[in-house]
């Protein structure tokens, strides 16, 4: 039997987690971990598979005969923008562990704004004992931009909490219990949205989509008047100076941001300390590395047996 092609991994993850996940992963297939100094001079020309998260700029020049590229996360913008990406299937990571984590984050943010967590925290620091108005979840409509794997799961879980939920996607989409809008219905969707959740991939079409003009189209009929913006998708989709201006000018009541135009968020950003903004460090939904390797191993076996790969990215759409 010919020996199995090694897998090269270039994952900017916690390396202890990677090492632990590699124990027992990939059976007798060799794994070349580019985080190890010894692998820096290794010839990668004969490698068929790469598993990557924010890989080095020279990866595709070195591993120039790849047959499949696996993204270590759900998003693929970190790969699509790399020089020399070969014209081979690009597979993204879709897994219940990741989906569940994102829905936890989204539900947490929606509830945090509904229950005015930042305002109570500010009061507590001043030892102020004062009850604030308490609208019910059903009085607010959460509008999710991006009704894919993550958006649909978050929608279902927000419904369980009592929120009205609507969704927007590029194409027409039917999701049980949720009113949906396609690209042409954006303005109608925004006009109904009291809490806007961004779960979009970063593509040329979604770059800068969350800007002042869009915020101005959101509903102002919710119980807090001004709407809230929550983004767990990609920072490149938001215009941060517009977010700050919208918060200051009353177009937005608050925001929760996990992703930023520049990561890490620059120290001088006013978002860090804004009293109505919740900042998390691109930590809404980390990839479970063990689950990632299990999935790559299974997909490689399928590929070698001539079965179709799952979760292959549409290069033209960019996600
Ligand atoms: P999917 O590919 O399953 O869904 C993407 C959704 O966005 C689809 O509904 C798609 O529409 C919609 N969409 C894409 N482009 C447009 C557009 N131009 N106009 C309108 N709708 C559009 O992706 P996932 O749900 O798995 O993930 C979404 C994103 O979340 C990832 O790409 C990644 O960037 C981000 N992410 C962030 C994480 C974090 O920790 N912060 C963790 C994991 C992911 P349609 O259904 O019509 O195709
Ligand atoms: C992802 C992410 O795309 O963590 O999976 O951002």
User: Residue 1's pLDDT is what?
Assistant: 60
Q: Which of 270, 267, 273, 209 is nearest to 245 (CA)?
A: 270
CATH for 50: 3.40.50.720
> Do 137 and 69 belong to one domain?
no
> Do 145 and 235 belong to one domain?
yes
> Do 11 and 90 belong to one domain?
yes
Q: How many folded domains does the chain comprise?
A: 2
> Do 90 and 234 belong to one domain?
no
| Residue 206 lies inside a defined structural domain of this protein | yes
Query: Is pLDDT above 80 for 285?
Result: yes
Gap from CA of 233 to ligand 1 centroid (Å): 7
User: Residue 71's pLDDT is what?
Assistant: 98
Gap from CA of 202 to ligand 1 centroid (Å): 8
> Do 101 and 248 belong to one domain?
yes
Q: Which residue has the higher pLDDT, 22 or 2?
A: 22
> Do 72 and 118 belong to one domain?
no
| Residue 316 lies inside a defined structural domain of this protein | no
Query: Is pLDDT above 90 for 62?
Result: yes
Q: Could you read off the pLDDT of 109-143 as tens digits, one per residue?
A: 999 999 999 999 999 999 999 999 999 999 999 99
Gap from CA of 257 to ligand 2 centroid (Å): 14
Query: Is pLDDT above 90 for 240?
Result: yes
Is 42 known to be catalytic? no
| Residue 167 lies inside a defined structural domain of this protein | yes
> Do 35 and 79 belong to one domain?
yes
Mean pLDDT of 234-243: 98
Residues with CB under 6 A from ligand 1: 73-75, 98, 102, 146-151, 169-171, 173, 183, 199-203, 205-206, 232-234, 258-259, 282, 284-285, 319
> Range of 258's domain?
96-279
The mean pLDDT value of the chain amounts to 97
Query: Is pLDDT above 70 for 2?
Result: no
> Do 117 and 221 belong to one domain?
yes
The rounded distance, in Å, linking the Cα atoms of 3 and 7 is: 12
> Do 30 and 109 belong to one domain?
no
The rounded distance, in Å, linking the Cα atoms of 319 and 314 is: 6
Contact (Cβ atoms closer than 8 angstroms) between residue 81 and residue 303: no
Gap from CA of 314 to ligand 2 centroid (Å): 17
> Do 297 and 251 belong to one domain?
no
Mean pLDDT of 204-209: 98
| Residue 310 lies inside a defined structural domain of this protein | no
| Residue 314 lies inside a defined structural domain of this protein | no
Q: Where are the beta strands (DSSP E) in the chain?
A: 7-11, 31-33, 49-53, 68-71, 90-91, 141-145, 164-168, 179-181, 195-198, 228-231, 254-257, 277-279
Residue with the nearest Cα to atom 33 of ligand 1?
A: 75
> Do 296 and 199 belong to one domain?
no
Q: Could you read off the pLDDT of 23-44 as tens digits, one per residue?
A: 999 999 999 999 999 998 999 9
Q: Could you read off the pLDDT of 142-184 as tens digits, one per residue?
A: 999 999 999 999 999 999 999 999 999 999 999 999 999 999 9
> Do 150 and 87 belong to one domain?
no
Closest ligand 1 atom, CA of 94? 26
| Residue 1 lies inside a defined structural domain of this protein | no
Considering every ligand atom shown, identify the ligand nearest to the alpha carbon of residue 206 and give its number: 1
Query: Which of 75, 105, 234, 259 has most ligand 2 atoms within 8 Å of its beta carbon, as the pocket-test mutant?
Result: 75
User: Residue 200's pLDDT is what?
Assistant: 98
Q: Which of 29, 163, 68, 39 is nearest to 109 (CA)?
A: 163
Is 234 known to be catalytic? yes
């Amino acid at each position: 039997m010919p020996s199995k092609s090694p897998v090269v991994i270039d994952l900017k993850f916690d390396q202890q987690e990677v090492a632990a996940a590699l124990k027992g992963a990939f059976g007798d297939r060799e794994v070349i971990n580019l985080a190890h100094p010894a692998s820096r001079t290794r010839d990668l020309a004969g490698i068929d598979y790469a598993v990557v998260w924010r890989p080095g700029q020279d990866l595709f020049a070195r591993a120039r005969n790849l047959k499949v590229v696996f993204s270590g996360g759900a998003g693929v913008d970190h790969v699509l923008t790399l020089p020399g990406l070969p014209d081979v299937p690009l597979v993204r990571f879709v897994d219940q562990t990741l989906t569940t984590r994102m829905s936890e984050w989204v539900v947490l943010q929606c509830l945090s704004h509904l229950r005015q967590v930042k305002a109570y925290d500010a009061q507590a620091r001043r030892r102020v004992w004062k009850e604030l108005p308490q609208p019910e979840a059903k009085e607010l409509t959460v509008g999710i931009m991006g009704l894919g794997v993550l958006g649909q799961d978050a929608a279902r879980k927000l419904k369980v909490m009592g929120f009205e939920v609507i969704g927007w996607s590029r194409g027409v989409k039917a999701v049980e219990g949720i009113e949906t809008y396609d690209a042409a219905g954006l303005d109608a969707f925004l006009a109904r949205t009291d809490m806007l959740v961004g779960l979009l991939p970063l593509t040329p079409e979604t770059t800068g989509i969350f800007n002042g003009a869009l915020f101005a189209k959101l509903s102002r009929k919710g119980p807090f008047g001004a709407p809230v913006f929550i983004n767990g998708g990609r920072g490149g989709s938001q215009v941060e100076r517009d977010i700050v201006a919208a918060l200051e000018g009353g177009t937005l009541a608050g925001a929760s941001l996990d992703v930023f135009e520049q990561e890490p968020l620059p120290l001088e950003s006013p978002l860090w300390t804004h009293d109505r903004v919740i900042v998390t460090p691109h930590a809404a939904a980390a990839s479970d590395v063990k689950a990632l390797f299990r999935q790559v191993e299974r997909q490689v076996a399928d590929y070698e047996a001539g079965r179709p790969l799952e979760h292959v990215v549409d290069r033209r759409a960019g996600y």
